[in-house]
Chain A
Amino acid sequence: MVSNRVYISSSSMLKVSRYFTKSYKELALDVVTEIFRCVDGGLDSVDYVVVSNVFSDSILDQLDISTVLNQELGLVPKPSLRVETGESSGLSAVIHAYALIKSGLASSVLVLGVEKGSEFPTTVINKHITKFLDYEVESIYDFALVNEAALLMKLYMKKYNHRREDLSTWSIKMHENAIKNPYAQLRFSVSAEQVVNSQIISEPLRLLDAFPVGDGASALLLTSKEDLIQSDDPIEIIAGYQATSLPLNLRDDLLELPASKSLFYRALSECGLKLDDAVIEVHDSYSIFGYLAIESLGLVERGKAPEAIKDLNMVNLSGGLKARGHPIGATGVYQVSEVFKILTDGLGDLRRDATWGLIHSMSAIDNNSSVVVLKRCS
């Protein structure tokens, strides 16, 4: 059986922000309208809708959200479903859409990531965010992902002999990158001094080591149809890989991301991806995860990421979760949308001629992880 090739036809996104006057339906409408403004006949050609949203039940009081969105967006009677794998939901949705086309079950799929993070005060959102861990074991005690991130910072600083301020480089770099991304939530620079003096969340982790809460929506049109491809220089999805890990406390090496590491290895060995000819987005909800991700990728030696990130100019050009923002279920869709734009028409003024795109997402600390590989076809 010959499987279909899967191309990105177009992408759209909203600036990650707090949209107090707009509902999730209106955020979705904006990005879907933009997709079909760009692609003639795109709407008719869509034969599947994959929605990524994490907090539909807990924040929006809504189940079967993909049907409600279809009804709202003029997409009835197209089939739709919602994908949820915690924080990696967005990239899981992209991979699910890719698989539908690859297998021949669909020829064009609309991927829609949407999340409303700012409908409630922070303590309520924090409550929902603790749910990424095992409720019976961790969340019932109110242990949160940020606590685990803080513990990893401690282990990392001890093992590699880093000072607290050494671990501010990620935030500095991400904020610097976000200034060039018109869709980023935090478009301002920060200094090492500001990072280490910001509000303590779970020491040694501070506010400026963490992603901001925000709303967002992003859409992608994936297709195997050549007439829906916008450019002579199309971007193809070459691979989508997914894996799960044991919880942090049961891992042999707490400073490695076992699932992500295996996915990165596959991307490098099976796709022939060249890191020096790639635009890379990694999951950095807390800056320590950014360091661990680029070390698990093999881009830098273990323990060296805090110094190395200063000179890496192909990692998280969007500003990452740290500064672009992390509209939970939409984040993975944003990452792919951004890399697609950077490789084609530009994300704002940000353009790269790289051959490859590598996108990484994970839920909690590598619990459910995904990697997507994009390739320029020319």
Chain B
Amino acid sequence: MKLSIPKYWRRRFDYYSVIIAECLDCGKKTYPRKHICPYCKSRNVRAITSAGIGEVIAYTISYFRVEGSEEHIPKIVALIKLDDGPILIGELVDLDLSELREGLRVEAVLRKIRTDDPGGLIYYGVKFRPLMK
């Protein structure tokens, strides 16, 4: 077992949904959520579960080979502007390369992100797919 279960488990809500923080003083939103607003330093922040819907600002098709996830190549990494939140970096899935374009509307979806040693746990997280009409 290479991956720590508690390290992942305690952040499960942040891996299973898109949780952002809204600052009740300056109004700025951050992803991931933080206890302190990085812009005005206020602690008067609240966590909001984003609808997870947004738009691709830019994307890249990556062939960068990282140990343990070589079979997962190529993958599409994008800057996504959430409709109800800030920009985040996300992986695009379930799409044909011909659909890929800036401005593509996308939604968050639960997908496998890691597998531990054979027989070990499977870790899930949020990725993004083209918005279902």
Could you list which residues of chain A lie within 8 angstroms of chain B, going by C-beta atoms?
Answer: 122-124, 126-127, 130, 136-138, 140-144, 146-148, 150-151, 154-155, 158, 199-205, 246, 248-250, 254
Q: Are the CB atoms of A202 and B67 closer together than 8 Å?
A: no
| Docked CA distance A154–B61 (Å) | 12
Q: Are the CB atoms of B113 and A138 closer together than 8 Å?
A: no
Q: Are the CB atoms of A202 and B66 closer together than 8 Å?
A: no
Q: Are the CB atoms of A250 and B38 closer together than 8 Å?
A: yes
| Docked CA distance A147–B64 (Å) | 8
CB distance from B125 to the nearest CB of A (A): 6
| Docked CA distance A154–B78 (Å) | 11
Contact digits for B58-101, partner A, Cβ 8 Å, 1 yes 0 no:
11111111111110100101110000001111010000000000
Name the residue of chain B whose CB is nearest to the CB of A126.
B66
Q: List 28 A-B contacts (CB under 8 A).
A: A123-B70, A126-B64, A126-B66, A126-B67, A136-B14, A137-B32, A138-B89, A140-B113, A140-B114, A141-B113, A141-B125, A142-B75, A142-B113, A144-B66, A146-B64, A147-B64, A150-B60, A151-B60, A151-B78, A155-B57, A200-B63, A201-B63, A202-B63, A202-B64, A204-B60, A249-B88, A250-B86, A254-B79
CB distance from B18 to the nearest CB of A (A): 12
* Tally of chain B residues near chain A (CB < 8 A): 35
Pair count A-B, CB < 8 A: 95
B133 at the interface (CB under 8 A from A): no
CB distance from A161 to the nearest CB of B (A): 15
Q: Are the CB atoms of A126 and B38 closer together than 8 Å?
A: no
CB distance from B19 to the nearest CB of A (A): 11
Chain B residues positioned under 8 Å from A123 (CB to CB): 65-67, 70
Chain A residues positioned under 8 Å from B91 (CB to CB): 141, 143
Q: Are the CB atoms of B69 and A148 closer together than 8 Å?
A: no
Q: Given contacts A136-B11, A246-B38, are A142 and B60 in contact (CB under 8 A)?
A: no
| Docked CA distance A207–B45 (Å) | 43
New A-B contacts (5) at CB < 8 Å, excluding given A147-B77, A249-B87, A249-B89: A123-B67, A147-B89, A202-B61, A204-B60, A250-B30
Chain A residues positioned under 8 Å from B59 (CB to CB): 151, 154
CB distance from B77 to the nearest CB of A (A): 4
Partner of A130, one of B61, B66, B70: B66
Q: Are the CB atoms of A203 and B88 closer together than 8 Å?
A: no
Q: Are the CB atoms of A203 and B70 closer together than 8 Å?
A: no
Name the residue of chain A whose CB is nearest to the CB of B77.
A147
Chain A residues positioned under 8 Å from B16 (CB to CB): none
